[in-house]
Protein backbone atom coordinates (compact mmCIF):
# COMPACT_ATOMS: atom_id res chain seq x y z
CA UNK A 1 0.00 0.00 0.00
CA UNK A 2 1.12 3.49 -0.63
CA UNK A 3 1.59 6.26 1.91
CA UNK A 4 -1.56 7.97 0.62
CA UNK A 5 -3.64 4.90 1.42
CA UNK A 6 -2.23 4.17 4.86
CA UNK A 7 -1.44 7.69 6.05
CA UNK A 8 1.80 6.30 7.55
CA UNK A 9 5.13 7.73 6.52
CA UNK A 10 8.29 5.65 6.57
CA UNK A 11 10.93 7.30 8.75
CA UNK A 12 13.63 9.13 6.84
CA UNK A 13 17.14 8.13 7.84
CA UNK A 14 19.90 10.56 6.88
CA UNK A 15 22.99 9.22 5.13
CA UNK A 16 25.86 8.18 7.39
CA UNK A 17 28.32 10.84 8.47
CA UNK A 18 31.97 10.31 7.57
CA UNK A 19 32.76 8.60 10.88
CA UNK A 20 29.87 6.16 10.60
CA UNK A 21 30.80 5.44 6.99
CA UNK A 22 34.42 4.82 7.97
CA UNK A 23 33.34 2.28 10.59
CA UNK A 24 30.93 0.61 8.16
CA UNK A 25 33.67 0.33 5.51
CA UNK A 26 36.11 -1.09 8.05
CA UNK A 27 33.51 -3.63 9.23
CA UNK A 28 32.96 -4.67 5.61
CA UNK A 29 36.54 -4.65 4.32
CA UNK A 30 38.50 -6.25 7.16
CA UNK A 31 36.59 -9.54 7.34
CA UNK A 32 36.31 -9.72 3.55
CA UNK A 33 40.07 -9.40 3.06
CA UNK A 34 40.76 -11.76 5.95
CA UNK A 35 38.51 -14.47 4.50
CA UNK A 36 39.92 -14.04 0.99
CA UNK A 37 43.46 -14.31 2.37
CA UNK A 38 42.62 -17.39 4.44
CA UNK A 39 40.89 -19.14 1.55
CA UNK A 40 43.18 -18.13 -1.32
CA UNK A 41 46.38 -17.13 0.50
CA UNK A 42 48.43 -20.11 -0.65
CA UNK A 43 47.52 -19.38 -4.29
CA UNK A 44 48.18 -15.68 -3.93
CA UNK A 45 51.53 -15.90 -2.14
CA UNK A 46 53.32 -16.80 -5.38
CA UNK A 47 52.25 -13.51 -6.96
CA UNK A 48 54.21 -10.28 -6.86
CA UNK A 49 52.83 -8.08 -4.03
CA UNK A 50 51.42 -5.52 -6.47
CA UNK A 51 49.64 -8.18 -8.52
CA UNK A 52 48.41 -9.90 -5.32
CA UNK A 53 46.97 -6.58 -4.12
CA UNK A 54 45.32 -6.04 -7.50
CA UNK A 55 43.68 -9.47 -7.35
CA UNK A 56 42.53 -8.93 -3.75
CA UNK A 57 41.03 -5.53 -4.55
CA UNK A 58 39.37 -6.83 -7.73
CA UNK A 59 37.64 -9.57 -5.74
CA UNK A 60 36.98 -7.66 -2.50
CA UNK A 61 35.53 -4.38 -3.80
CA UNK A 62 32.49 -5.90 -5.56
CA UNK A 63 31.80 -8.13 -2.55
CA UNK A 64 31.95 -5.15 -0.20
CA UNK A 65 29.97 -2.73 -2.41
CA UNK A 66 27.25 -5.05 -3.71
CA UNK A 67 26.89 -7.65 -0.95
CA UNK A 68 27.98 -6.25 2.41
CA UNK A 69 27.44 -2.47 2.40
CA UNK A 70 23.72 -2.59 1.51
CA UNK A 71 23.15 -4.85 4.50
CA UNK A 72 25.17 -2.57 6.76
CA UNK A 73 23.13 0.42 5.58
CA UNK A 74 19.92 -1.47 6.43
CA UNK A 75 21.26 -2.40 9.88
CA UNK A 76 22.30 1.21 10.49
CA UNK A 77 18.88 2.51 9.42
CA UNK A 78 17.14 -0.05 11.66
CA UNK A 79 19.34 0.94 14.62
CA UNK A 80 18.71 4.65 14.04
CA UNK A 81 14.94 4.16 13.81
CA UNK A 82 14.91 1.87 16.83
CA UNK A 83 16.86 4.28 19.02
CA UNK A 84 14.97 7.39 17.88
pLDDT greater than 70 at residue 24? yes
34 close to 63: Cβ distance less than 8 angstroms: no
Distance separating alpha carbons of residues 55 and 44, to the nearest angstrom: 8
User: Residue 8's pLDDT is what?
Assistant: 77
- Nearest CA-CA partner of 61 in 40, 35, 32: 32
Please report which confidence band the pLDDT of residue 3 belongs to, taking 50, 70 and 90 as the band edges: low
pLDDT greater than 90 at residue 22? yes
pLDDT greater than 80 at residue 79? yes
Ranges of each domain in the chain = 46-84
User: Residue 34's pLDDT is what?
Assistant: 96
pLDDT greater than 70 at residue 1? no
Amino acid sequence: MSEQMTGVRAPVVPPPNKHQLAVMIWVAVFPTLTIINLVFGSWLEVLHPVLRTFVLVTVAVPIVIYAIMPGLHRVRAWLMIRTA
